[in-house]
């Protein structure tokens, strides 16, 4: 990841940390998902080949707005994301 | 315009967050702001200011997007709706500063979004942004505060409309809770 993209990650994390202090708490989850989505986008720019990353990014894009329309499904989706990342992570064990 | 057409326009506007690469002309952006300034204004303060970023400002918008939730890439244009607090205070006093100025900005934003929809543009209103970042990026003077951001462009997605409950659910005739006249 180049320095500009690293700065982008820092920018979003910093702005999110500030706004999460006043936003409704569920938007903390939303912002962390959005951080993941952006990070995954930067990985795509670096042409990582593992389809896991692009599929996870698409999944986040498809579901992130559930925070506004269906909080229960949004909660389920958060669990699903953790499980997906866990399965991937333990491939490296 | 007939009432049914107006309602169709209002219902047809959806929040759009992804746009094509097609640019929005300076004339079209000017028309949008023209629509904005015809919004009602408490005490006729008209203390709104509009900072517009367009096709020449892609990199600046990308820098701002890095800090913004709900936006993943620079749109074709941004309109930052700002309040001149000195003017608002002079014309509308404390009530203006506390409440009316922001209401004026909100009504102006709705005018822009409806006008944009009528012009085939998509838009999304964003209220969660960092004021300091915005001040730095737009070089706002101290007495001018950013209140709302509209991102705009030609839609690259269908907006989705969360359903509304039957309107009667939120209507009260003469007194709260009375569901009929």
Model confidence pLDDT, tens digit, residues B89-107: 999 999 999 999 999 999 9
pLDDT level of residue B161 (50, 70, 90 thresholds) = confident
pLDDT of residue A16: 92
pLDDT band at A1 (very low <50, low <70, confident <90, very high): confident
Residues of B in contact with A19 (CB under 8 A): 69, 128-130
Kindly state the helix (H) or strand (E) to which residue B152 belongs, with its residue range: strand B144-153
User: Do the Cβ atoms of A11 and A34 come closer than 8 Å?
Assistant: no
Q: Are B59 and B14 in contact (CB under 8 A)?
A: no
* B141 CA to centre of own chain: 21
Task: State which residue of chain B sits closest to A41, comparing Cα positions.
Answer: B72
pLDDT tens by residue, A12-52: 999 999 988 988 898 999 999 999 999 999 998 888 878 99
What is the model's pLDDT at position A8? Answer: 92
- Residues of chain A above pLDDT 90, percent: 66
Which one-letter DSSP state was computed for residue A22?
T
Tens of pLDDT, residue by residue over B116-160, are 999 999 999 999 899 999 999 999 999 999 999 999 999 998 888
Mean pLDDT score across all residues of chain A: 92
Reported pTM: 0.87
Q: Which residues contact B146 (CB under 8 A, 6 or more apart)?
A: B51, B80, B81, B82, B129, B131, B134, B135, B138, B140
Q: Write out residues 72-91 of A within 8 Å (CB-CB) of B.
A: none
The CA-based diameter of chain A, rounded to the nearest angstrom, is: 38
Distance CA A4, CA A6 (A): 5
**pLDDT tens digits, B15-36:** 999 999 999 999 999 999 999 9
SS (H, E, C) B32-88: HHHHHCCCCCHHHCCCEEEEEECHHHHHHHHHHHCCCCCCCCCCCEEEEEEEEHHHH
Backbone angles phi, psi at B109, to 5 degrees: -65, -40
Q: Hey, what's the torsion of the CAs at B78, B79, B80, B84, to 10 degrees?
A: 160
Position A58 scores a pLDDT of 95
d(CA B85, CA B82): 9
ipTM field: 0.75
Of A8, A19, A61, the CB nearest to B66: A8
**Distance (Å, rounded) from C-alpha B103 to C-alpha B28?**
24
Contact A19 B69 (CB under 8 A): yes
Kindly determine whether residue A38 and residue B133, on different chains, have CB atoms separated by under 8 Å. Answer: no
């Amino acid at each position: 990841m180049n320095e500009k993209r690293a700065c982008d990650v820092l920018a979003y994390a910093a702005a999110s940390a500030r706004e999460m202090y006043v936003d409704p708490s569920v938007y903390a989850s939303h912002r962390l998902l959005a951080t993941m989505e952006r990070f995954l986008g930067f990985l795509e720019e670096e042409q990582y080949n593992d389809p896991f990353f692009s599929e996870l990014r698409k999944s986040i894009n498809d579901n992130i707005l559930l925070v506004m329309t269906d909080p229960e499904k949004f909660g389920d989706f958060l669990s699903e994301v953790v499980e997906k990342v866990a399965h991937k992570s333990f491939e490296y064990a | 315009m007939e009432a049914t057409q107006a309602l169709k326009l209002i219902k047809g506007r959806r929040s759009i967050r992804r746009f094509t690469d097609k640019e929005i002309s300076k004339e079209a952006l000017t028309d949008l702001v023209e629509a904005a300034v015809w919004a009602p204004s408490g005490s006729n303060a008209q203390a709104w200011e509009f900072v517009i970023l367009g096709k020449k400002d892609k990199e600046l918008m990308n820098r701002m997007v890095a800090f913004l939730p709900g936006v993943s890439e620079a749109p074709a244009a941004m309109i930052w709706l700002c309040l001149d607090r000195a003017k608002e205070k002079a014309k509308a006093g404390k009530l203006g500063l506390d409440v009316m100025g922001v209401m004026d900005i909100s009504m102006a934003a709705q005018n822009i979004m409806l006008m944009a929809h009528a012009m085939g543009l998509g838009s999304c209103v964003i209220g969660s942004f960092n004021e300091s970042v915005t001040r730095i990026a737009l070089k706002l003077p101290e007495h001018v505060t950013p209140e709302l951001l509209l991102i705009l462009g030609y839609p690259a997605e269908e907006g989705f409309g969360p359903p509304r409950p039957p309107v009667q659910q939120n209507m009260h005739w003469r007194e709260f809770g009375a569901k009929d006249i």
